[in-house]
Chain A
Amino acid sequence: MTRLGYTKKMAKPSLLLKQEGGLAVIFATGSWTLGQTEALPALPDVSGGAEIILDGGGIETLDTTGAYRLMSMMDAAGVSPERIKLRGVTPSLLPVWNLVAKNYSQAHGITQKKTFGLLYQFGLGSISMLQHMAGVANFVGRLAMEMFRLAKKPGSFRLREFVAQMEAIFIYAIPISMAMIFLLGLVFAYLMGVQAQKFGANIYVVDGVSAAVLRELSPVIVAILVAGRTGAAITAQLGTMKVNEEIDALSILGLSPFAVLVLPRILALFIALPLLVFLGDLAGLLGGMVVAKTQLGLEYSQYWDRLDSVLKMKTFLAGVSKAPIFAIFIGLIACRMGITVARDARSVGEHTTSTVVQSIVAIIVLNAIFAIVFVHLGI
């Protein structure tokens, strides 16, 4: 019994070769079904004669699996199904046999799949990379056209969609981004404080925390958070809309998916991310302040005085100014990946993952470029 769970009492299948007046006759008996699939001994080679008689008088039940196995065993012994002469089979089983015999040749013989070498894979990868880049250029171009159209007719801006996106991207992200940067400020101040205490330089922790949080930690971490949270959501939502043909429906209704879906999202990101970074800045400084008081014995007033004297406007601006650029990249990547989803569930998953990975890589690379540029500009 090989078919799990479902049992029926049936005779085991068997094949026997007998000589009958100089002719080879194969006797098949038992039940030939999916429930009876244990391996049977192979038949001896009988490929010699023109026709081989198969006596199926003993076959009790037959389904397509059984018929197929019977044929492939005969085939292995050198008799293809069209050369089998059937006799004695219960008439009710004949249609199954005939149906399978007709389709046997299509299913039989699994050919080895062609495999391709390294060069082929490399070429394939290069082509898909080029196509990806062309796709990005196309997407950015269409978006630019859409913005141009919007500039000529500002009334057509989708204000309601924009407000809804702001709520999702900005308002609901406030607690998580502030909590994250608060904790990072806390940890950063603590680790710096441990070192600074050795030199009695407690007050300089304020310099370190403010620079680190405002310039690097808050913009980068908040952007990564938004890429994972909002970027993934945008791709999954647009992708599912694509699968449901909602995006096609929009186009048919004379609405541009770019104007209705893409622009409000990118614009909302563009505005929300700097605001989130600003709130992150505040939270990070608060985190540093808590550690300064509890671990380093700095009063809140001392902390704020020091902050007032060392924190320059350009430090804050250097951090916050990165956010809109990050936002544009997150928005472009997320919307493009959403709109290019193929019409199946797997593709939605793949594209969502890809959005998060691409966005985070873009953020880190952009941040490195910013760092170099700022150094050269003396900021």
Chain B
Amino acid sequence: MSQPVIEINNIVTQLSGNLIHDGVSFSVGRGEVTALIGGSGTGKSVLLKEIIGLIRPQSGSIKLFGEDVWAVNEARLMALRQRFGVLFQDGALFSSLTVEQNVAAPLHEHTTLSPKECLELARLKIALAGLPTSSWEKMPSELSGGMRKRAALARALALDPELLFLDEPTSGLDPISARAFDRLIRLLSDSLGLTVFLVTHDLDTLLSMVNRIIVLARGKVLGQGTVEELVKIDDPWLQDYFSARFVEEHA
């Protein structure tokens, strides 16, 4: 087994006096699709921001590709950031750039490719994300929610990352678009050998495309494993979370 891609050790986070994480530890291996779930306010998004180096935890260590995100210098962190892509919840596309400019932006910044090559590669990523050619020159404000997510995915894939972070990838999408998005992520992670780490509430996503689930509750990791393994854990929130769905399916 090679070195894990994400390694989180004993994270403690306190935000404005509230203890959010009280010793969170887990690791994610290469090529895995892992989901982080938990009730509202359990600090899923905060944890994601800590992993990608935006919020500093009070203590504990977060390693990506074996390097401590919060111990390396600025230059190493920038280099590290080129190895992963992030899909923010509402896409976070730059509103003053067209879709193709949004996707080409990281290529312009971090490679020495010619503008034409950047644009071609950007269009390839847009095609991979399943957007039609007509979307190339649209502004983000002209896109539907689902298209915005796809454009943001194309931007996250621009630098051919090894690791992809998704913050609620299917929130705000209709069930059909959400399943299509799940299939797309699965296809990309299988074809490109991506490691995917996502925060989600979507049970269908968990059932259809995720290898492993990590449950966050009361500041700790409550459990991890597949859906079948998790339903055996005796926790009221977890039972509620899964029961609705299973009752529905077995009725």
Contacts and interface: CB of A to CB of B under 8 A. Distances in A.
Given A98-B191, A99-B187, A100-B128, 11 more contacts: A3-B111, A64-B157, A68-B124, A96-B193, A99-B191, A99-B192, A100-B124, A103-B127, A107-B120, A107-B123, A344-B139
Contact of A68 (B82, B121, B133): B121
Contacts of B188: 99
B95 A346 contact: yes
Contact of B128 (A64, A95, A108, A110): A64
Contacts of A92: 193
Interface of A: 2-6, 33-34, 37, 63-65, 68-69, 72, 92, 95-96, 98-100, 103-104, 106-108, 110, 342-347
B82 A107 contact: no
Given A64-B157, A106-B133, A344-B139, A4 B110 contact: yes
B190 A103 contact: no
B193 to A, nearest CB: 7
Contacts, number: 91
A95 B127 CA distance: 16
B125 to A, nearest CB: 7
A37 B113 contact: yes
Contacts of B83: 6
Given A3-B110, A63-B192, A106 B82 contact: no
A96 B160 CA distance: 11
A344 B92 CA distance: 11
A100 B116 CA distance: 18
Contacts of B38: none
B12 to A, nearest CB: 30
B15 interface: no
A5 B82 contact: yes
B123 A342 contact: no
Contacts of A63: 160, 192
Contacts of A100: 124, 128
A5 B192 contact: no
Given A6-B83, A95-B192, A96-B192, A103 B124 contact: yes
B129 to A, nearest CB: 10
Contacts of A68: 120-121, 124
B113 A5 contact: no
B128 A103 contact: yes
Contacts of B190: 95
Nearest to A349: B96
B185 to A, nearest CB: 13
A343 B141 contact: yes
A256 B154 CA distance: 40
A45 B125 CA distance: 28
11 contacts: A3-B82, A37-B111, A37-B113, A64-B121, A65-B121, A99-B192, A107-B120, A107-B123, A108-B120, A110-B120, A346-B95
A345 B120 CA distance: 27
A7 to B, nearest CB: 8
Contacts of B140: 344
Contacts of A342: 141
Contacts of B139: 344
Chain A interface mostly helix, strand, loop or mixed?
Answer: helix
Interface of B: 75-76, 78-80, 82-83, 95-96, 110-113, 116-117, 119-121, 123-128, 133, 139-141, 157, 159-160, 187-188, 190-193
A318 B192 CA distance: 75
Nearest to A105: B127
B181 to A, nearest CB: 16
Given A96-B191, A99-B191, A106 B123 contact: yes
Nearest to A6: B79
A100 B188 CA distance: 11
A132 B80 CA distance: 48
Contacts of A110: 116, 119-120
B157 A5 contact: no
The 9 tightest CB contacts between A and B, nearest first, are: A5-B79, A344-B95, A95-B191, A107-B124, A103-B127, A107-B123, A346-B96, A63-B160, A106-B127
A92 B31 CA distance: 12
Interface hub of B83, B127, B193 (most chain A Cβ within 10 A)? B127
B250 to A, nearest CB: 36
A308 to B, nearest CB: 58
Contacts of B126: 106-107
B141 A106 contact: no
Nearest to A104: B124
A345 B95 CA distance: 6
A39 B165 CA distance: 32
B160 A64 contact: yes
Given A64-B124, A99-B128, A34 B191 contact: no
A104 B124 CA distance: 7
Nearest to B114: A39
Nearest to B192: A96
A137 to B, nearest CB: 26
B15 to A, nearest CB: 23
Nearest to A113: B137
Nearest to B130: A103
Greatest chain A CB density within 10 A among B76, B110, B124, B193 is at B124
Nearest to B95: A344
Contacts of A108: 120
B108 to A, nearest CB: 12
Q: Which of B80, B110, B139, B160 is the most central at the interface, judged by chain A CB atoms within 10 Å of its CB?
A: B160
Contacts of B117: 37, 69
A11 B25 CA distance: 37
Given A64-B160, A108-B120, A6 B191 contact: no
Most buried by B among A99, A107, A346: A107
